[in-house]
Structure 1
Amino acid sequence: MSHSIVELAGETLWLLASKAMYWPARKMLIVADIHFGKATAFRSLGVPVPRGTTTENLQALSHLLAAHVCEEIVFLGDFLHAKAAHAPATLAAMQAWRVRHAHLRLTLVRGNHDLQAGDPPASLGITMVDEPHRVGPFALCHHPHLETDGYVLAGHVHPVFHLRAARETVRLPCFLLGPRRAILPSFGAFTGGHALKPLPGELVYVTADAAIFRVPGQGPDTLECLVPSIKNQ
């Protein structure tokens, strides 16, 4: 299964196996923590890490756009990893991708790395906003613990979940859905992850290759009962 359909705050959302969220009613893709230029930043410090992660991230975005009717991408913070992400080769690749998708609206909710790296070049045509960015019943944020009205969609923590079977363990990116917030996995190709233990009432959806599935035994049977205070706003 390439996506799971959930209902949050009265809206239908798709959790994509490619570690993004799709909001069909708004024709919107929501992406967290892409961290463009992270590998470049590491190499600038003398750390030998793989090349090609910017191209990989851009190709992943293009595949999503080819598969879904989309008018806007909202990035939930940490678009650029550091000032080194302004390297000419990184920006040139991003600019070439932007030219191919000139019709697309791009919105960036500033995260902690964006504050350090600085805003991306104006030539990329990205609308910059601070958290919380309100759209319908949702507060689009970078930090998941921000106190705000609305159901929070956020990133920042790069959530992963450890699935165990007998003596085997596998570590997989995941969506974490709770009563007042949903945390998206990191979309970037070179970002790592932080293992989270779900709290009572939270659901976990893990992604593996082209599949996404809910971890059994986590949370209630339906998401509808998780959001009674803001549903149908």
Structure 2
Amino acid sequence: MSADSLTVDVQGHALTLCAERAAFDPVLKSLFVADVHLGKDAVFRARGIPVPAGSTEETLGRLDRLIAAHAPESIVFLGDLLHARESHAAEMLGALRRWRARHPALPLVLVEGNHDRHAGALPDEFGMETVIEPYRFGPWALCHHPQTTEHAYALAGHEHPVLRIATGSDRARLPCFRFGARAGVLPAFGAFTGGFEVSAQTAGEAVYVVAGDRVFRVKR
């Protein structure tokens, strides 16, 4: 286990939590990534909001680092791979095309999220298989919206969970993983996403925060 990841037991199944805000199943050799929101900066600019470019390249670069570290045999995106219809801008598609050329044989699965439905499907050249939730894969029910399912542990995204950490006068909002008895939620992966504050005090939940290149459990 590298310094930037932490392998935990989730209801009897190993799951490696990565500081890049993704999870890796070491048995299935699959990478789980939630809420990438590719092209969100292009959407803002198309709607007249002057935000800097470059978040797509940054996000795909972190995905490259995860692939180099874990050598996954597949990637499953837990919804909201794209942000909106304007995400199909030439700039974003070009960056994604270059990324795909670096990993041409890697199977990609998208569990359709609410933003994906509005954005529309990627062109066939990207080789993305789209499925609906819950998508059963090994011991998991892979979803976009947090939920519980029968006979499988659900992993989802959608909420973009963050935890507020305070020490004295200092405050920080850190991305976090949340795991309850029957379902868990991954942090948003995209470089240009907001966050929904959650509590570390929820009964029966384990919360792990990402702080720089570390992942650690928050004690209740």
- TM-score range, shorter-chain basis? over 0.9
Task: State the TM-score, normalizing by the size of structure 2.
Answer: 0.95
**Aligned equivalent of 1:38:** 40
Give the partner amino acid of 1:189: A
Match in the other structure for 1:163:
165
Aligned residue in 2 for 1:213: 216
Q: Which residue of structure 2 lines up, in the alignment, with residue 94 of structure 1?
A: 96
Matched position secondary structure for 1:25: coil
Compare 91-100 and 140-149 and name the one that shifted more: 140-149
**Deviation string for 1:147-182 (max 9, x for gaps)?**
554111000000000112223221100001110111
Partner residue in 2 for 1:136: 138
User: Deviations 1:28-49 (Å, cap 9, x if unpaired)?
Assistant: 1100000001010000011011
Structure 1 contact 39–50 (Cα < 8 Å) conserved: yes
The residue number in structure 2 matching 1:204 is 207
Identity %: 48
Q: RMSD of aligned C-alpha atoms? A: 1.1
List runs of 5+ in structure 1 lacking aligned partners: 218-233
Work out whether residues 3 and 14 of structure 1, in 8 Å CA contact, stay in contact via their aligned partners in 2. yes
Give the aligned residue type for 2:79: G
Distance 1:114-1:206 versus aligned 2 partners, 3 A rule:
same
Indicate which of 56, 59, 81 corresponds to 2:58: 56
Q: TM-score, normalised by structure 1?
A: 0.90
Structure 1 runs of 4+ aligned residues shifted over 2 Å read: 145-149
How many pairs does the alignment contain? 217
- Number of the residue aligned with 1:222: none
Corresponding residue number in structure 2 for 1:230: none
Partner SS, residue 27 of structure 2:
helix
Partner of 1:65: 67
1:13 deviates by 0.7
Tell me how far apart the structure 2 counterparts of residues 149 and 118 of structure 1 sit (CA, whole Å): 31
Structure 2 runs not aligned, ≥5 long: none
> Is 2:119 the partner of 1:117?
yes
Q: Which residue of 1 aligns with 2:180?
A: 178
**Does structure 2 conserve the Cα–Cα contact (< 8 Å) formed by 1:34 and 1:80?**
yes
CA spacing shift, 1:148–1:51, aligned 2, 3 Å: farther
